[in-house]
Amino acid sequence: MHIPVITPLPFADAPYSRAMFDDDWIFVSGTLGMDYEAHQLAGGAAAQTELMLRNIERYLATCGGTLRNIVNYTLIVSAHEHLPAVMDALRKHLPCKPTGTAMIAGIAIPEACVEMQVIARKSHQG
């Protein structure tokens, strides 16, 4: 597996990589709707979801993939009331329909509304 240099991570000395890939597969760690350079979350669930997808898109591109290559995701939403805005943003901005799991759970950064981890296959065009 190759580990591209994608920084910064949300925590200093985080014990994980932002993304890993080989010739076929890309694995992207849980990603927030955060400007990681400024360490600032977007305002609200919809804006966080849109920024989260832009971040994931950038990480996939670094590994040779696109959002269309996503085959599976794990989505964490911090509260039930955020779910409609998150799902609307995903419907608008995610260009494929991968398999997925969504859960309501706490996120390591308490102000975060949504986090997504993805698995993509470079030859897949969902």
At 96 the three-state DSSP class reads coil
Predicted confidence (pLDDT) per residue in 2-11, tens digit:
777 676 666 6
According to the model, what pLDDT value does residue 9 have? 67
Q: What pTM was computed for the model? A: 0.92
Instruction: Report whether 26 contacts 64 (CB < 8 A).
Output: yes
Cis peptide before 8 (omega within 30 of 0): yes
According to the model, what pLDDT value does residue 37 have? 87
Alpha carbon distance 120, 69 (integer Å): 5
Question: Using CA of residue 76, residue 70, residue 65, residue 92, what is the dihedral sign?
Answer: negative
Structural domains in the chain, CATH included, are: 22-121 (3.30.1330.40)
Alpha carbon distance 44, 104 (integer Å): 16
Predicted confidence (pLDDT) per residue in 43-86, tens digit:
999 999 999 999 999 999 999 999 999 999 999 999 999 999 99
